Amino acid sequence: MNTTATTLRAALAAAALAVIGSCATVASVERLAADTLIPATQERAMGEQYATQIEGETQLYGDPEVDAYLNDLGQRLVRTSPQSPFAFSFKAVSDPSLNAFALPGGFCYVHTGLIAAADSEAELAAVMGHEVNHVTRRHGMRNLVRMYGIEQVTAKLGGATAEGVAAVVQQTGGAITVRSFGREDEREADRYGVQAMYDAGYDPQGAVTFFEKLKAASGGARDAGLLGRILSTHPATDERIANIKAQIQTLPARSDAQKDSEEFQRIRARVRESMGWGGA
């Protein structure tokens, strides 16, 4: 009896018991399957290949000073997020859209449009904390299980070999597969992201103001275009804002909560100038 088959049966049995014994959600079963069947070493190896793909198709901003700033801020949020076995990295991407994304294994990217549009470091921290916690909660791996099923994921991985990992990257449609999160994944990343920014000393209201900005930017795009397609698989922005406000109400008020920094405003101005946005 091979180890993979034994592990698979154990995971399935545990998932069934969890569902029967505690009315666990489908997401709980997906989490269990991902955590049991996909070791962190394989997730990191997949992330490296996805990152190579992304960096071959995307124009990195390539400013060491901006990347160093993002890394400092990102590592601050990593330290206040749930423990993860991954070494996180943060890079800026030359793209005017209000976006950031994270790949399995801790590879995080921030669009210059997001840096330019954020009004404060707390707003940027809210988005980056959200992305960090897509990684800590292994949402990319859960998505593989969700899309392909436990048995197929196990078969595709084919053990802990480099060939098995490469096969998954090739056969699952590339990095877009592990960047497409379900509604519950987004809610969870919001919750953990808000907690991480609060614990890192940031004013969590930055998450509220950013999502209000996202809502205003989306306008009527919910039914058309790329942004509309993205929003159709995410919780409605109104819902996310309400959830975040409710979460903030449970957090003790702190007089030292950081809203902004001179360093962020300097980096923001640098990025805006290079994009030709100008002004404040």
Instruction: Point out the residues that are catalytic.
Output: 131
Sequence-separated contacts (24+) of 244-247 with Cβ below 8 Å:
244/190, 244/194, 244/204, 244/207, 244/208, 244/211, 245/208, 247/191, 247/194, 247/195, 247/204
Sequence-separated contacts (24+) of 99-103 with Cβ below 8 Å:
100/127, 100/128, 100/130, 100/131, 101/131, 101/179, 102/131, 102/132, 102/134, 102/135, 102/179, 103/47, 103/50, 103/51, 103/54, 103/135, 103/140, 103/175, 103/178, 103/179
Sole residue written with tokens 């840096």: 115
Three-state secondary structure string covering 7-28: HHHHHHHHHHHHHHHHCCCHHH
